[in-house]
C-alpha cells in the first residue's frame, strides 16, 4: 500500500537515546565529574510498516522492545532520530493542531483525568480544548455512557473510582473528540477479566462505528486475539514479524500440538512426543512440526484412537517463544 | 477567539472546582503564609517607632498597609513553580498535555488564574483580621484601585512567564534545583518581599529597577498604598508589559528546542 492511501506509514524509523553511564563506586563517581560517559541505545531501529485506514493492528513485543517509543513517535510526543513517519497525512513531530485533534494515545498506566473532581468536568474541559460542538459532544458522551455503563460513575470524583472504572473513564475521555487514529498502549493492564472484555468490546465497537485505525499494544493475548487480525512483532527495536496472527505460529513455532483421546487413558504416550498435559481424557502432545504427519499416522496405526486433533500451540506460547529468541535478523528494506 | 475563551473558561472552572475541594488545605496554607509578613511587620514597626515614628518613609501604619497588601500580592504571585517541571516530565503528565491540541502554557495560565479567584475570596477574612490587629494607613484613590487591579494580574503574568521559562531548563538539566534556589534568592532580595526597597541602599534600588521582580511584587503594593503618582503607576504597568513580553518571547523560542529534547522515557 502506498503511503498516501495508508493511515499510518513508517519508513526506516529510528529513535536513539543517549543514556549516561557510570560504574558503581566512589572512584567512578569522581571520574565522572571530569569525564562523563554516555552510550547510545537504539530503542527503535529502522522499522517500516503501513497500516490501512480502519485496520486494527496488534503491536507486540516484550518490555523494552520499543513499542511505546514507536507509539510516542506516532503520536508526536517524540522526535524520531531518523526515518519517516506519517499519520493521517501529517508528520506527527510537527504537532499540528489539526493532527492532534484526530489522534489519541491511551496508556493503561497513566491518568489524564483530574483526580479530585468528577470525570464529567474533565470531559467538559476536553470539549473546549478539542473544540467539539456541543451537540456532538452530548451525543458522543451519551453513546459512551451507554456502551461503557458509566451513568452512575460520571459524577463521582475520579479518585473514588476503582481501577477498572477509572480506565473506562480514561478511554471515554480520550475518545470524546472521535479520533481517527487510536494508539492504545496496554489499555487493559491490571484489569480483571470482565473489565478487559468490556474495554475490548468497546474498542471493537468504536472501530466498527467510526472506521478508526487502531494500533494496540498489550501483554494480554486475549486483547490481541479478540481485536487484531494482523500483528506486528517488535524485539530489540526491530520488526520480527508483520502479518496475520495465524501466520505467526506457522513462522515461529517449531512445534505443533496433537490432542489424542484414547479408549484406554492409561497408555504411555511419551514415545510419541512430549506430553504437555491431560484434560478430560484428552492428552496433549508437543511434536516437532516436521514430524506431525508421521507421529499422527503412528498414533492412529498403533493405538485405539477415539479422537485426534492437530493444532498450532497457544498464541501465548508462540509469543513467548518469539520473545525468547535473540536479536532479530536484518530486516529487508 | 471564541474557542480560546471557551478553553480558558473551562480551565478556570476546573481549577476553581479543584481548589474548593482543597479549601481547608488552602486556608491553612494561606494562614501559614501570613506568618512571614507579620514577622516583618512587627520588626519594622518596632524599628520605625524606635527611630521617631518612621523609617525609609514608612510609619508603623504604613508598614501595616504594605504588609497586609503584601499578603494578597504574594498569593496572586503564586505560579507554576519551576520545580514542578521535573515531576511533570518524570510522571508523564507532560506527555498527556502534549497530546492536546493546545499549548500547555494556556492550560497553566487558566489553572493558576482560576486559583486566584479562590485565593481572593479566602484572603478577605484574613485581611479583615490583620486590619483590625494592625490598623493600616491606607486610603486609595479610584485611580490607585484601578491601577492595582491591573497590576496584581500584571505581576502574576510577569512571574508566570519568567518561571515557566526557567522551568524549561529541566529539559536540559536533570537536577536544576540549585539554579532555581539562586533565582529565588535574587528575587527575594530585589522584589520588595523581604523589605520595601526604599529601605535598601541606593545601588540595590537601582539594580532592582532593572530586574523584573520588583514589578511583579512591590509595584502592585505601592500602587494601592498610595506611594506612586499616576505617571509612576503607568510606567510600572508598562514595565510589567515589557517583562511579560520578554517572558513570552523566551518561552516561545525555547519551547520548540525543549520539545526536541523531550525523551518521555517510561511515560
State whether residue A3 sits within 8 Å of chain B by CB.
no
State whether residue A16 sits within 8 Å of chain B by CB.
no
The ipTM estimated for the assembled molecules is 0.84
Asked whether A211 and A53 are in contact (CB, 8 A), the reply is yes
Report the gap between the CA of B181 and the closest CA in chain A (Å): 22
Report the gap between the CA of A171 and the closest CA in chain B (Å): 13
Domain range annotation of chain A: 3-249, 255-311
Residues in B touching A100 (Cβ below 8 Å)? 99-101
Q: Please report the pLDDT score of residue A2 as a whole number.
A: 63
Q: Please report the pLDDT score of residue A214 as a whole number.
A: 97
- Mean pLDDT across chain B: 91
Torsion angle of the four alpha carbons A197, A198, A204, A205, in this order, in degrees rounded to the nearest 10:
150
Nearest to B96 by CA among A122, A148, A47, A296: A122
Q: Answer yes or no: is pLDDT of A333 > 60.
A: no
| pLDDT confidence bin for A331, thresholds 50/70/90 | very low
Q: Please report the pLDDT score of residue A193 as a whole number.
A: 87
Residue B99 is nearest to which of A75, A79, A98, comparing CB atoms?
A75
Q: Answer yes or no: is pLDDT of A225 > 50.
A: yes
Cell numbers representing residue A11 in the block: 519508513
Contacts of A332 (CB under 8 A, 6+ apart): none
Q: Do A129 and B7 touch (CB under 8 A)?
A: yes
Q: Please report the pLDDT score of residue A74 as a whole number.
A: 97
Domain range annotation of chain B: 2-261
B74-124 pLDDT per residue, tens = 999 999 998 888 888 877 788 889 999 999 999 999 999 999 988 888 889
Residues in B touching A130 (Cβ below 8 Å)? 100-101
Q: Answer yes or no: is pLDDT of A1 > 70.
A: no
Q: Do B101 and A101 touch (CB under 8 A)?
A: yes
Q: Do A129 and B259 touch (CB under 8 A)?
A: no
| pLDDT confidence bin for A4, thresholds 50/70/90 | low
Instruction: Please name the residue that has the C-alpha cell 473546549.
Output: A128
Segment B136-163 shows an average pLDDT of 96
Q: Do A104 and B99 touch (CB under 8 A)?
A: yes
Q: Please report the pLDDT score of residue A190 as a whole number.
A: 80
The CATH architecture annotation of domain A3-249 reads 3-Layer(aba) Sandwich (3.40)
| pLDDT confidence bin for B72, thresholds 50/70/90 | very high
Residue A17 is nearest to which of B10, B22, B265, comparing CB atoms?
B265
Report the gap between the CA of B15 and the closest CA in chain A (Å): 10
Residues in A touching B96 (Cβ below 8 Å)? 110, 112
Q: Please report the pLDDT score of residue A328 as a whole number.
A: 46
Residues in B touching A125 (Cβ below 8 Å)? 10-11, 13-14
B16-66 pLDDT per residue, tens = 988 888 888 888 888 888 888 999 999 999 999 998 888 888 999 999 999
Report the gap between the CA of B182 and the closest CA in chain A (Å): 22
| pLDDT confidence bin for A14, thresholds 50/70/90 | very high
DSSP A32-71: HHHS-EEEEEEEEEEEEEEE-TT-EEEEE--TTSSHHHHH
Asked whether A130 and A174 are in contact (CB, 8 A), the reply is no
State whether residue A104 sits within 8 Å of chain B by CB.
yes
Q: How many CB pairs under 8 A join A and B?
A: 76
Residues in A touching B9 (Cβ below 8 Å)? 128
State whether residue A110 sits within 8 Å of chain B by CB.
yes
CA distances from B121 to A186, B114, B221 (A): 44, 12, 18
A22-70 pLDDT per residue, tens = 777 777 777 776 777 788 889 999 999 999 999 999 999 888 889 999 9
State whether residue B262 sits within 8 Å of chain A by CB.
yes
Residues in B touching A127 (Cβ below 8 Å)? 10
Residue A117 is nearest to which of B11, B21, B102, comparing CB atoms?
B21
- Touching A: B residues 153-212, CB under 8 Å: none
| pLDDT confidence bin for A327, thresholds 50/70/90 | very low
Q: Please report the pLDDT score of residue A324 as a whole number.
A: 77
Residues in A touching B265 (Cβ below 8 Å)? 17
The phi and psi torsions of A55 (rounded to 5 degrees) equal: -75, 145
Q: Please report the pLDDT score of residue A192 as a whole number.
A: 84
Q: What angle do CA B108, B109, B110 make, to 5 degrees?
A: 90
Cell numbers representing residue A323 in the block: 520473545
Report the gap between the CA of A120 and the closest CA in chain B (Å): 11
| pLDDT confidence bin for B264, thresholds 50/70/90 | low
Specify which of A163-172, A191-200, B226-235 reaches the highest per-range mean pLDDT. Answer: B226-235
Segment B229-239 shows an average pLDDT of 97
Residues in B touching A160 (Cβ below 8 Å)? none
State whether residue B4 sits within 8 Å of chain A by CB.
no
Amino acid at each position: 500500500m502506498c503511503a498516501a492511501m495508508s493511515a499510518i506509514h513508517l519508513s526506516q524509523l529510528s529513535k536513539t537515546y543517549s543514556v549516561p553511564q557510570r560504574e558503581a563506586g566512589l572512584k567512578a563517581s569522581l571520574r565522572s565529574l571530569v569525564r562523563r560517559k554516555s552510550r547510545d541505545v537504539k530503542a527503535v531501529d529502522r522499522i517500516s510498516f503501513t497500516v490501512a485506514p480502519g485496520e486494527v493492528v496488534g503491536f507486540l513485543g516484550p518490555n523494552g522492545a520499543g513499542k511505546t517509543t514507536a507509539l510516542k513517535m506516532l503520536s508526536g510526543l517524540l522526535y524520531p532520530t531518523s526515518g519517516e513517519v506519517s499519520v493521517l497525512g501529517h508528520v506527527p513531530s510537527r504537532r499540528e493542531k489539526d493532527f492532534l485533534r484526530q489522534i489519541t494515545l491511551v496508556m493503561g498506566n497513566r491518568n489524564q483525568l483530574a483526580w479530585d473532581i468528577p470525570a464529567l468536568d474533565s470531559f467538559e474541559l476536553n470539549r473546549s480544548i478539542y473544540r467539539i460542538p456541543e451537540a456532538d459532544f452530548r451525543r458522543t458522551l451519551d453513546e459512551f455512557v451507554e456502551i461503557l455503563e458509566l451513568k452512575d460513575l460520571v459524577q463521582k470524583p475520579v479518585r473514588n473510582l476503582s481501577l477498572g472504572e477509572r480506565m473506562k473513564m480514561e478511554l471515554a475521555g480520550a475518545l470524546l473528540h472521535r479520533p481517527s487514529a487510536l494508539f492504545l498502549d496496554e489499555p487493559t493492564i491490571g484489569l480483571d477479566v470482565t473489565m478487559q472484555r468490556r474495554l475490548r468490546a468497546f474498542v471493537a465497537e468504536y472501530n466498527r462505528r467510526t472506521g478508526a485505525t487502531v494500533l494496540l499494544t498489550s501483554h494480554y493475548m486475549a486483547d490481541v486475539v479478540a481485536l487484531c487480525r494482523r500483528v506486528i512483532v517488535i524485539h530489540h527495536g526491530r520488526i520480527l514479524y508483520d502479518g496475520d496472527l495465524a501466520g505467526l505460529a506457522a513462522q515461529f513455532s517449531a512445534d505443533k500440538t496433537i490432542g489424542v483421546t484414547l479408549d484406554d487413558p492409561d497408555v504411555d504416550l511419551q514415545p510419541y512426543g512430549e506430553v504437555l498435559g491431560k484434560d478430560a481424557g484428552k492428552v496433549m502432545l508437543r511434536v516437532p512440526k516436521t514430524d506431525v504427519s508421521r507421529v499422527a499416522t503412528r498414533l492412529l496405526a498403533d493405538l485405539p484412537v477415539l479422537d485426534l486433533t492437530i493444532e498450532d500451540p497457544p498464541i501465548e506460547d508462540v509469543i513467548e517463544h518469539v520473545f525468547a529468541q535473540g536479536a532479530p535478523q536484518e530486516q529487508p528494506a | 477567539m471564541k474557542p480560546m475563551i471557551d478553553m480558558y473558561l473551562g480551565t478556570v472552572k476546573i481549577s476553581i472546582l479543584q481548589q474548593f475541594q482543597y479549601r481547608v488545605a488552602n486556608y491553612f496554607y494561606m494562614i501559614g503564609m501570613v506568618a512571614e509578613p507579620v514577622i516583618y511587620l512587627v520588626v519594622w514597626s518596632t524599628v520605625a517607632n524606635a527611630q521617631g515614628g518612621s523609617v525609609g518613609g514608612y510609619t508603623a501604619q504604613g508598614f501595616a498597609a504594605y504588609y497586609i497588601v503584601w499578603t494578597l500580592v504574594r498569593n496572586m504571585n503564586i505560579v507554576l513553580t519551576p520545580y514542578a517541571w521535573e515531576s511533570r516530565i518524570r510522571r508523564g503528565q507532560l506527555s498527556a498535555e502534549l497530546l492536546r491540541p493546545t499549548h500547555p502554557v494556556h492550560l497553566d495560565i487558566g489553572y493558576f488564574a482560576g486559583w486566584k479567584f479562590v485565593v481572593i475570596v479566602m484572603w478577605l477574612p484574613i485581611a479583615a483580621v490583620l486590619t483590625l490587629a494592625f490598623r493600616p494607613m491606607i486610603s486609595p484613590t479610584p485611580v490607585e484601585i484601578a491601577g492595582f487591579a491591573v497590576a496584581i494580574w500584571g505581576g502574576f503574568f510577569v512571574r508566570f512567564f519568567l518561571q515557566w521559562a526557567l522551568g524549561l531548563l529541566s529539559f536540559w538539566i536533570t537536577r536544576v534545583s540549585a539554579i532555581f534556589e539562586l533565582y529565588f534568592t535574587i528575587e527575594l532580595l530585589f522584589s520588595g518581599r523581604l523589605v520595601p526597597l526604599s529601605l535598601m541602599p541606593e545601588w540595590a534600588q537601582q539594580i532592582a529597577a532593572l530586574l523584573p521582580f520588583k514589578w511583579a511584587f512591590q509595584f502592585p503594593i505601592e500602587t494601592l498604598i498610595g506611594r506612586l503618582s499616576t505617571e509612576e503607576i503607568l510606567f510600572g504597568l508598562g514595565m510589567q508589559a515589557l517583562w511579560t513580553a520578554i517572558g513570552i518571547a523566551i518561552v516561545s523560542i525555547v519551547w520548540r528546542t525543549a520539545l526536541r529534547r523531550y525523551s518521555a522515557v517510561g511515560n
